[in-house]
Amino acid sequence: MARVVHLGQQVWNNYHQTAACNLKSRIELANDEQPNGRAYLKAVAETVQALLKEAKQYQIPVRPVGAGWSPAPINVIEDGWLVETLRLNRTFKLAERNLHADCDLPAESLMLVQAGATVDEVYESAEEIGRSLRTGGASNGQSFAGACATGTHGSVWQEGGIQDHVRAVQLVTPERILWIEPKRSVLSDDFIAQTGSVIIRDDRIFAAAQLHVGAMGFVTALLIETDPIYMVQNIQKAAKIKREHIDWLCRGEFRKFSGAFGLNEEPYFQQLILNPFDPFDKKALLRFLYKRPYDASIPPPPPGQMGAGYDALTLLGKVMANSDLFKAELLQLAMEQAYPDNRDVDDPPAIATWGHTTEEHSPIASLFNGSVTMDRRKLSEAFDLIIDSFRRGGGGTVVTLRFVHKAQGLLAPAHWQDNVVIDFDGPNVESSHSGYKKVVEALDDAGIAFTRHWGKTNNLDQQRVQQDYDQDFADWKWAQAQVMPDAADRRVFANDELVKLGLI
Ligand SMILES: Cc1cc2nc3c(=O)[nH]c(=O)nc-3n(C[C@H](O)[C@H](O)[C@H](O)COP(=O)(O)OP(=O)(O)OC[C@H]3O[C@@H](n4cnc5c(N)ncnc54)[C@H](O)[C@@H]3O)c2cc1C
């Protein structure tokens, strides 16, 4: 069994202090020493199942939590058990003999990851064995299961979300310990049996479990696929863009855009942070990452030169720690001051592994984060509408444009072939909320389809989720019922937000 530490009744706040709850108990799970990866997975799953059984018996709602980084109230539970996973953070290599005969992936590409391993810990473990993740979010402190739960993504335009790395999920319900894979088997039946799990091999159920929003059971481990290790070169700068550049991005002319501001080659990653009060007369913050072969002799440059830590949340948080004011000029000052040193095309190259492109984050203030995801080809049509309505709503956030390929998971917000994600990050004040609401209304009025981030402020409800995901939502519900046929099992995972979303 794993260790269960009861920390008792208390008030708990999520990381952004956007939601709080009164807990019956905060419970921390931790590993006990085990002989191998399978034994770790089995011990933890059995411990979790025992907790869930007890919760079901006494009708106590349970909320598994990773880093608690989601600003949306999906990670809180009133009068229930909050079960923390961050100390379930081991990662394990696989051997060829652990794979199923039908598996077409090389063993060295696979890693077993416990649910609470942070994204940073996974980056590090992967690098130690000469591997790398393909994409990730702007920071790296999320738990791997929590990041997958909401479809965390960055701006690698040929990749989807972090959940795209997942090849199998160990899910625990009050009645069962399940190992969920796609129809095409990945690990051998014998290996899976030693994790204490019963196998489900089904494409739809797997796609539902890849992005589970915390409503498919308790994830205790994930099997992920990695790439051979690579490096990226960072270019980051403040520069004025023109309206026509938005049209280039809309058409996916990334190489052309990169040629105008960065290197004359296809970027692996590109991101723009704009001042919505004056997007073309004031400088935007641009960041490009270009793929490079791994070279162990290159020492990693200081984090600032790799752009680490300058996601919009971080840079706003830094300024908001010193000032309550939030006006267009101040916003620009904030953007440019908090942005690390320029690393332009003429500067000595800053090159490091993927794991060095993000850094740790500390909570600074109550922040607002909202986003809309849409078909990238709608960007030109939506851009002015978004900026105008945001300003009419008195918004007070920066606006970030990120680009993502169609992501895996039935409930992936990035469900168009190519997506643009438009983020709104700023202080958690009324103007940020009203600006975001105006954007949502304007897109609806214009008939432009979009989805919203599960982990951020999103004002969603069941009707809207059904409308946005349609058959995928129906399939997700079907999959959930296969995993937890008994409604009493599903109720163990109920919280107000997930019920409102129609996910429980
Ligand atoms: C500084 C910062 C930067 C961010 N940057 C980005 C970004 O670049 N891109 C992006 O897309 N998002 C970003 N986000 C949002 C963040 O990545 C997501 O909200 C992510 O889901 C948080 O992971 P977590 O481990 O904190 O999950 P939590 O907030 O703890 O949980 C999220 C959901 O998953 C459930 N859950 C957690 N663990 C389990 C488990 N083991 N089993 C079952 N359910 C579980 C929870 O109950 C909850 O429903 C950022 C957030 C912050 C604070």
Report the alpha-carbon angle 305-398-119, nearest 5: 50
For the stretch 216-246, pLDDT in tens is 999 999 999 999 999 999 999 999 999 999 9
Say if ligand 1 is within 6 A of residue 143 CB: yes
CA of 457 to the centre of ligand 1 (A): 12
Q: What is the mean pLDDT of residues 492-497?
A: 98
**Position 310 pLDDT exceeds 70:** no
CA of 81 to the centre of ligand 1 (A): 18
- Alpha carbons 124 and 130: distance in angstroms, whole number: 10
CA of 68 to the centre of ligand 1 (A): 6
Confidence tier at 305 by pLDDT (50, 70, 90) = confident
Q: Return the sign of the alpha-carbon dihedral for residues 480, 484, 486, 490.
A: negative
The phi-psi region of residue 479 (left if phi > 0; otherwise alpha if psi is between -120 and 50; otherwise beta) is alpha
- Residue that wins the pLDDT comparison between 364 and 407: 407
Percent of the chain at pLDDT > 70 equals 95
Say if ligand 1 is within 6 A of residue 218 CB: yes
Q: Which of 152, 211, 480 to mutate to test the pocket of ligand 1 (most atoms within 8 A of CB)?
A: 152
* Residue count of the chain: 504
For the stretch 69-105, pLDDT in tens is 999 999 999 999 999 999 999 999 999 999 999 999 9
- Alpha carbons 465 and 455: distance in angstroms, whole number: 14
Domain limits, the chain: 3-228+477-500, 230-445
Q: What is the mean pLDDT of residues 411-433?
A: 93
Instruction: Give the pLDDT score at 370.
Output: 95
Are the C-beta atoms of 456 and 72 separated by less than 8 Å? yes
Q: What type of residue sits at position 307?
A: G
Say if ligand 1 is within 6 A of residue 480 CB: no
Backbone angles phi, psi at 328, to 5 degrees: -55, -45
CA of 96 to the centre of ligand 1 (A): 32
Mean pLDDT rounded to a whole number for the chain: 94
For the stretch 180-199, pLDDT in tens is 999 999 999 999 999 999 99
Neighbours of 341 (CB within 10 A): 13
Say if ligand 1 is within 6 A of residue 221 CB: no
Instruction: Give the pLDDT score at 412.
Output: 98
Is the whole model's pTM more than 0.85, yes or no?
A: yes
3-228+477-500 classified as CATH 3.40.1160.10: no
Are the C-beta atoms of 9 and 37 separated by less than 8 Å? no
Percent of the chain at pLDDT > 90 equals 83
Atom of ligand 1 nearest to the CA of 454: 19
Q: Looking at 364-368, 408-412, 473-477, which range is the least confident one?
A: 364-368
**Position 317 pLDDT exceeds 70:** no
Confidence tier at 431 by pLDDT (50, 70, 90) = confident
- Alpha carbons 227 and 230: distance in angstroms, whole number: 8
Instruction: Give the pLDDT score at 337.
Output: 72
Say if ligand 1 is within 6 A of residue 137 CB: yes
Atom of ligand 1 nearest to the CA of 16: 53
CA of 23 to the centre of ligand 1 (A): 20
Coil, strand or helix: which one is 420? strand
- Alpha carbons 240 and 474: distance in angstroms, whole number: 45
Confidence tier at 119 by pLDDT (50, 70, 90) = very high
Say if ligand 1 is within 6 A of residue 74 CB: yes
The kind and range of the H/E element at 42 are helix 37-57
- Alpha carbons 465 and 469: distance in angstroms, whole number: 6
Q: Which of 142, 453, 493 to mutate to test the pocket of ligand 1 (most atoms within 8 A of CB)?
A: 142
Are the C-beta atoms of 312 and 273 separated by less than 8 Å? yes
- Fold (CATH) for 230-445: Vanillyl-alcohol Oxidase; Chain A, domain 3 (3.40.462)
The kind and range of the H/E element at 37 are helix 37-57
Give helix 243-250 / helix 379-392 axis angle, nearest 10°.
130
Say if ligand 1 is within 6 A of residue 147 CB: yes
For the stretch 16-37, pLDDT in tens is 888 999 999 999 999 999 999 9
Token pair belonging to 122: 């996974």
Q: What type of residue sits at position 159?
A: E
**Position 322 pLDDT exceeds 60:** no
Instruction: Give the pLDDT score at 288.
Output: 97
